[in-house]
Structure 1
Amino acid sequence: MSLPFDIDIALQSDTWSNHEAVIYKSVSAILEVLESPRLGELSIALSDDAQIRCLNREYRGKDKPTNVLSFPVPPPAPLLGDIVLAYETVESEAKEKNISFDNHLSHLIIHGFLHLQGYDHINEEDASIMEALEIQALTLLNIDNPYLY
């Protein structure tokens, strides 16, 4: 699958299997939805709860694991930023919602990518915009609306 930029996938935990195809399809889908996305190299770290808990504590002041963290790099850098995903949290959330791991992973990659594009969900209006974009991209991947679960 060809994208207009490189994706550097860093395997930081042995719990991850090969998810490269899911990553590329997810990024491709959100690029198709966005009108004029900022392009640049993307780094995705496939990590675990222990590492993401440390990052969450250091950068957000929350001493607990989370599913995904995004670290945007401001323009004009050639790097968009980093997306870090925690395997155990992604897995437990997928089981809790009774959806496939890969479908939940796609949602979180799209969500993280939108943060790198400057979107957020701090207030209700911004959250609605971000969720609508996520749903559009997931629909392209034949994945149901995750906000119905």
Structure 2
Amino acid sequence: MKPELSLSLQFADPRHRALLPRHKVLRFIRAALELPGEIAVRIVDAEEGRALNREYRGKDYATNVLTFDYSHEPVVGADLVICAEVVEKEAADMGVPLLDYYAHMLVHGTLHAQGYDHEVDDEAECMEARETEIMRGLGFADPYPRS
């Protein structure tokens, strides 16, 4: 049984609203959740994504997903901010269907919200393996194909 999830889904940038109906976003996040969650997902444009990345990470560019985690247990509390323009460009550059890449970013952000980290080598392998397992379970290809 999947953990309970309270989801707030916001589209500051509406370009992909039709691609991301609430039931799909719930499915992707629930697949990665290990505990009950209260998660807000906000799809933003590059300007907002850049401003948030600059303010909170000191990096002056828009990134694909930002995770603001507030609690890991007993309830996972987090905001996931996904930049529509960056996700669209990266998916196109990699030749990955846009929905597949959004699913990956939602899984990736949800894992971060639970304390997973990919900045440390041994943790990166663990996080990537978990992402691959979840994405395959959702019916998607391995997001980290080995050459």
Same fold (TM over 0.5): yes
SS of 2:27 mapped into structure 1 = helix
In structure 1, runs of 5+ residues without a counterpart are 32-36
Q: Which residue of 2 aligns with 1:25?
A: 27
Contact 1:22/1:102 (CA < 8 Å) preserved in 2? Answer: no
Q: Which residue of 2 aligns with 1:8?
A: 8
Q: Distance in 2 between matches of 1:148 and 1:76?
A: 32
Contact 2:69/2:78 (CA < 8 Å) preserved in 1? Answer: yes
Q: Name the count of aligned residue pairs.
A: 143
Matched, 1:66 2:66: no
Q: Distance in 2 between matches of 1:141 and 1:27?
A: 11
1:144 to 138, 141, 146: 141
Q: Distance in 1 between matches of 2:130 and 2:95?
A: 22
Using the aligned pairs only, state the percent identity.
Answer: 31
Change (3 A) 1:121 1:75: closer
CA drift at 1:122: 1.1
The alignment yields a C-alpha RMSD, in angstroms, of: 1.9
Superposition TM-score, scaled by structure 2 size? 0.89
SS of 1:134 mapped into structure 2 = helix
Q: Distance in 1 between matches of 2:128 and 2:72?
A: 24
Q: Which residue of 2 aligns with 1:123?
A: 120
In structure 2, runs of 5+ residues without a counterpart are none
- The structure whose RCO (Cα within 8 Å, separation 6+) is larger is 1
Q: Distance in 1 between matches of 2:38 and 2:143?
A: 27
Q: Distance in 1 between matches of 2:24 and 2:88?
A: 15
